[in-house]
Structure 1
């Protein structure tokens, strides 16, 4: 997701904007720029590449109390200085920064060209700058309204005006925009991270909202341009703190934070009810009767969140005996879903801003479905859209590739499964066993992290491979998919996850002595079958890496390398088995010199489709 920042106040705007963009770097971008209003003239500085390139271009003496900034992730038009934001209008009276996609930009561009307006970039966003300027013979507020009325698509946008040095105007539809309210200053941004050190009071805009900002006041309007009052909310200070804390990368830090983040996901133990062998989740907004009425559960997500949903679906079915499906949000939104009264929908998103998931949720709600969220970011769009849910409390995740958010999502789903199971088929005796086992998970994760050097040795041994296979059965199958995703995301090595049972149905053709196969094997009902699959790979001279909780000597004989994780209840093993895979991906990517925290072509939060 692109990052946007706007500032109006007593400070030097260029410094505030560059610092804000620096705090948003973690979301991924390919170019950046700022626009400053000085001496009734709009000045724009923008550069391809890292923010450091832009900082070198911005004059130190540049002094203005108002400006806008942007980090771009290319959609329309290639990566270049010209296509970077901000964009200035044809009469140079308006500059804008824009997140989102304007679906009808082609027809609007053709219309504006017929009016004699020329374009300097290949972006869809430039259309919006020209439209606002075209209507600017009237008040800026009206001009923005008229321009937005012509737009089909999504936007988080901020505009500044050459002839109005005391205002910024922002609007959102499908792309987040937040106002930070400071002491005599205002900061508009796509993420509260840009507010660090400036404000802990925020106004969250809803879809269709517009905001007119001055240094000491603001006015919010709804989609009908009627003025509405929005109460400022206090931002959690921890959610806006970004530091590597001595680690080489945010990704490694976040992997090592998982004992703590998993403990938070359990409410520091407050969500576990040892006496009853159950869990307490106060944000579900479901009464006792609602639990008994649930006939089906559908889990919605994308990417890593989708794989967390796959793990959760199996745990829910095992403990609660409720049929549970996992749905790809990008497919669901166009599928005309069949929504039934007694089906509960769970939408999973780390950021709470995932465009496909949000659109799918709206479609389900439009058909009368009940949707709860499994979300990390308080105040996010999905958190406000859903009717209740579970905050994962994983803490801010900076690296583009998700790690601690993934395990926190699985933990939240496990707590929900335990709660549902105890209201149905799980006896109190087994409930107490699970509560104790859940309580022990953070310490067991720490045991794995204490042996990270062993994974590093394995990673460096296989870092020259051009392809990896990840194989598992049952509850670990989604972990194989997630392991493959993590490796391809940050190392750029081709990797695929498969069900071990499907090995002979195609994937076996990929096995050779140059392609390592990573098996995730836990003690339980699929253990013997997994050993057979390993034999099949071994017979074809394939290299085998095993992640397991078993001490069975057959594994040690078959494996070229193996890592043993602590044992736990079978339904909880995914939480442990994924940790070595995260480390494996990190150490391979780091050994290859990849940009671990900001892998190419990827963004932290996908707010466009």
Structure 2
């Protein structure tokens, strides 16, 4: 996946330096989406030396492209060096200017300037494109374009898009004197594309215009009126009236809301197959249809962003992951706010579908990575309260097997971003099989939220660190509340339900208590930082905790770690036990407590290097004689214990990463919200 950003100022004077900094800051906000290379495109001056020497096929300013391997600051430094070398006037004032930017997570082609975006149509950069997603038929398109004389310079799938745009443009001009519009060119291009994408086009043939479109990848339009702020939070009505009378306006495209919140709270979540054209300060929204030659103009309404600038800043923390771990008391509070009322749970997004869910033959959870683990943690409680069999599916495996899904099933799709590629493909598969599809996501307006029949927003707030932390615990709480709502009609579990509902409001305070163990977990990390491997044993509710804790250590500390079902210990893993390999055993008080005590005794008998997580007051009975290192956590009801138990492991992974000298927010080879396969 990648981050894309664009900025257009209309009828408001902005210096070139300011325009560049807006683009750079947009990329900084999106760097968690990709950080192996980046690039921007802005305009030179009309009549620049490059144009005077060679001549160009248009009369507008020459586009300037800057691309660099590495992180955003590498690009920033390179751009200012190149600008100085060509003596570009950074103080030049533009009343209208369109710039685009991109930060990349490599899928096709190694990180390098030539594989970075913007990708170009060729000589003179007649069409430029930034892209998030994957074009599945790019090889066929590339062969066709090569036969028509095009030369390719990169290894990317993206390069076919601007070259296809030039091919369409040239073909249209050869037909006659009829003027072809920018939107006509783009619509003909996307008619040929297969796959998932969010695209932004820039062309000197259409100076000071931008076009964006999407299919399967998030894309946001932000609108900032400098003259009439009240009307911008209302319905567009006729989209042509969005910016009229030459109002001073700043417009932003972004693949994430966090990149526009510092500029405006008025936004539009662009829908699949919509083409948004910015021209003369006016926004036009067109709906593309494969079966129709011409797109239809559509009316859309702006939404108001419920996010504050402080959420996208680190504040007093050293890293976003650290900040987000410590934000969990707040994120859990906002997740539960307004949903616990009079010994009942109210989930507005599910209330019209609860009867259908209760009559399902089974409930199927589908997710990837951390989201899968969150569903696994809550599964036992859902089974207990609903009496419905609950199946777990990794999205990619479900697709590979084409596993059976029936009309009588309820399929619950869990995704922090709501844009995870495999999860969305699995959603399409479940929809085609007639199942009721429920979405659980942290992102309002995401593809998952729009395509499911119903769902719940976890409301954990913006999560920028690549390794999910606060979204994980909020997902567990949301699925727990979902179980409470589904099981509300069963008298046999009424007392159990009421006990959990009464306990939930105290959970944030329990989390605050665990967060005070930060120094203790840092000290443990120091003792483990030279280790090559780590095992974590869990069972019951905390099997998911073992998986998620090990995943966090892998993701950010780049240390081999495995979460294992303790009940399987004697079926292979026991052979690994020795005095060197550190083993964490999760043995808090629940139905599996006695079995975990037995596991600990067997590991001690084999001189295992044990670290035991237990409930407060149980240390002496579990590990007498100081043979184990102890992590004591507060005791909460068993279905909520995974929320408590994961936090020391999150802290451990964080401190291991920092001590080992790795980038905790941008781990090697990973990016947030994987939207490409």
TM-score by length of 1: 0.96
* 2:158 is equivalent to residue 125 of structure 1: yes
Deviations 1:51-104 (A, max 9, x none): 111111224634552111000000000011111111111242111111111112
Shift of 1:559: 4.9
Q: How does 1:100-249 map to 2 (within 5 A)?
A: 100-137=133-170, 138=172, 139=180, 140-183=182-225, 184-214=249-279, 216-224=281-289, 225-238=295-308, 241-249=311-319
Q: How far did residue 167 of structure 1 move?
A: 1.0
- Contact 1:200–1:236 (CA<8 Å) still a contact in 2? yes
Structure 2: how far apart are the matches of 1:527 and 1:204?
48
The correspondence of residues 84-483 of structure 1 with structure 2, limited to 5 A, is: 84-91=116-123, 92-137=125-170, 138=172, 139=180, 140-183=182-225, 184-214=249-279, 216-224=281-289, 225-238=295-308, 241-267=311-337, 270-273=338-341, 275=342, 277-286=343-352, 289-483=355-549
Instruction: Give yes or no for contact 2:439–2:456 (8 Å, CA) kept in 1.
Output: yes
How has the CA–CA distance of structure 1 residues 54 and 495 changed in structure 2, closer, same or farther, with 3 Å as cutoff? Answer: same
Matched, 1:42 2:63: yes
- Corresponding position of 2:652: 584
TM-superposed deviation, 1:607: 0.5
The answer to whether the Cα contact below 8 Å between 1:26 and 1:597 also exists between their aligned partners in 2 is yes
- CA shift, 1:107, in A, is 2.1
My pick for the range that moved more, 204-213 or 549-558, is 549-558
| 2:591 alignment partner in structure 1 | 525
**Superposition deviation, residue 223 in structure 1:** 2.6
Structure 1 residue aligned with 2:7:
7
Secondary structure of the residue aligned to 1:185 is strand
Equivalent position SS for 2:114:
coil
Instruction: Give the stretch that moved more between structures: 377-386 or 483-492.
Output: 377-386
Larger deviation, residues 9-18 vs 156-165 = 9-18
CA contact 1:239–1:396 (8 Å) conserved in 2: no
Mapped contact 2:33–2:103 kept (Cα < 8 A):
no
1:318 aligned counterpart, secondary structure: helix
- Give the corresponding residue for 1:80: 112
Which of the two has higher C-alpha Rg?
Answer: 2
- Deviation string 1:4-32 (CA, Å, 9 cap, x unpaired) is 01121143432221111111122232111
Q: Distance in 2 between matches of 1:539 and 1:429?
A: 41
- Cα separation, 2, equivalents of 1:455 and 1:72: 34
Structure 2: 5+ residue runs without aligned partners?
A: 47-60, 84-88, 173-179, 226-248, 290-294
Using the TM superposition, name which of 591-600 and 184-193 deviates more. Answer: 184-193
Partner of 1:33: 39
Kindly state the Cα deviation for residue 470 of structure 1 after the two structures are TM-superposed. Answer: 0.7
Match of 2:76 in 1: 55
**1:525 to partner: Cα distance:** 2.5
Where 1:595 maps in the other structure, the secondary structure is coil
CA offsets 1:257-296 (integer angstroms, 9 cap, x no match): 11111111111xx3123x4x33111111425643542332
- Contact 2:261 2:305 (C-alpha < 8 Å) held by counterparts: no
**3-state SS of paired residue (2:482):** helix
Which digits, 9 at most, give the CA deviation of each residue in 1:120-170, with x for residues without a partner? 111111111111011113322222222222222111111101121121111
Runs of 4+ in 1 over 6 A off after TM superposition: none
* Unmatched runs of 5 consecutive residues or more in structure 1: none
Q: Would you say the 8 A contact 2:413–2:437 is kept in 1?
A: yes
**How many angstroms apart in 1 are the aligned matches of 2:79 and 2:637?**
57
Q: In the aligned structure 1, how far is the partner of 2:423 from the partner of 2:590?
A: 34
Q: Partners of 1:520 and 1:385 in 2: how far apart?
A: 38
Name the CA shift for 1:215/1:182 in 2 (closer, same or farther; >3 Å). Answer: farther
TM-score, L = length of structure 2: 0.86
Deviation at 1:446, TM superposition (A): 0.7
Conserved? CA contact 1:240–1:396, under 8 Å:
no
Indicate if the aligned counterparts of 2:557 and 2:660 stay in contact, CA closer than 8 A.
Answer: yes
SS for the counterpart of 2:404 is coil
Task: Report the CA distance between 1:323 and its aligned residue.
Answer: 0.9
Contact 2:353 2:454 in 1 (8 A): no
Q: Secondary structure at the match of 1:116?
A: coil
Identify if the C-alpha distance between structure 1 residues 126 and 559 changes in structure 2 by more than 3 Å, giving closer, same or farther: farther
1:18 paired with 2:24, answer yes
Aligned to 1:69: 101
1:593 Cα shift?
Answer: 1.3
Most deviating of 244-253 and 399-408: 244-253
Contact 2:314 2:320 in 1 (8 A): yes
Q: Which of 573, 578, 581 in structure 1 is aligned with 2:641? A: 573
1:414-441 CA distances to partner (integer Å, 9 max, x unpaired)? 1111122222255443322212221211
Kept in 2, the 8 Å contact 1:26–1:398? The answer is yes
Tell me how far apart the structure 1 counterparts of residues 214 and 153 of structure 2 sit (CA, whole Å).
25
Q: RMSD in angstroms over aligned alpha carbons?
A: 1.7
In the TM superposition, what is the alpha-carbon distance from 1:337 to its structure 2 partner? 4.1
1:82 aligned counterpart, secondary structure: helix
* SS at 1:135 equivalent: helix
Instruction: Check conservation: 1:546, 1:559, Cα contact below 8 A.
Output: no
